[in-house]
């Protein structure tokens, strides 16, 4: 029987962890950081031991950052780092958070660690659609000691 609140059958199952995490990623890439947070958090609650959670946590941290919750972003990024200590998107987010919070020694340490790795840029799509966010990220990374 069709759902009267979702006649086209497009609703996301409330128990589909990956779906909610992907929805958070899509919302974040669309520049809707505040809306992304709830989806990321829901997906993480549904699947707290998923070995890929470092990806969702790093993305959640950046959404928190751009929502103005810099301290929460730093805490979330640290959770991601505990899962995957060499994750460059996480290191990048940590450097940005620390630079914004004037914790420059820590920011520089994360930049130094980040420069040792060669990862893909998982935030590339968001940076294309939100150049002002990309500019702020670049500014904070420069402040954290990343060379031009």
Q: How confident is the model at residue 10 (pLDDT cuts 50, 70, 90)?
A: low
Q: How confident is the model at residue 6 (pLDDT cuts 50, 70, 90)?
A: very low
17-62 tens-digit pLDDT: 888 899 999 999 899 999 999 999 999 999 999 888 999 999 999 9
> Does 9 score more than 70 pLDDT?
no
* Buried b or exposed e, range 56-93, using 16+ CB within 10 angstroms: bbbbbbbbbbbbebbebbbebbebbbebbeebbbbbbb
Q: Which pLDDT belongs to residue 3?
A: 43
> Which residues partner with 6 through β-bridges?
3
Q: Which domains does the chain show, CATH number per domain?
A: 17-143 (1.25.40.10)
> Which residues partner with 3 through β-bridges?
6
Handedness of CA 49, 65, 20, 54 (dihedral sign): negative
112-132 tens-digit pLDDT: 998 888 666 777 888 888 999
User: pTM above the 0.85 mark?
Assistant: no
Closest CA to 27 of 14, 13, 42: 42
């Amino acid at each position: 029987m069709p759902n009267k609140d979702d006649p086209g059958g497009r609703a996301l199952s409330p128990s589909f962890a990956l779906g909610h995490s992907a929805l958070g990623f899509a919302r974040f890439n669309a520049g809707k950081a505040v809306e992304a947070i709830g989806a990321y958090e829901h997906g993480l609650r549904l699947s707290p031991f998923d070995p890929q959670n470092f990806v969702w946590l790093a993305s959640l941290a950046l959404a928190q950052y751009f929502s103005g919750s810099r301290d929460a972003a730093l805490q979330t990024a640290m959770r991601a780092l505990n899962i995957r200590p060499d994750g460059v998107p996480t290191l990048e987010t940590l450097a940005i958070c620390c630079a914004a919070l004037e914790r420059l020694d820590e920011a520089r340490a994360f930049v130094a660690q980040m420069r040792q790795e060669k990862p893909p840029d998982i935030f590339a799509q968001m940076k294309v659609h939100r150049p002002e966010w990309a500019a702020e990220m670049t500014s904070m990374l420069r402040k954290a000691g990343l060379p031009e």
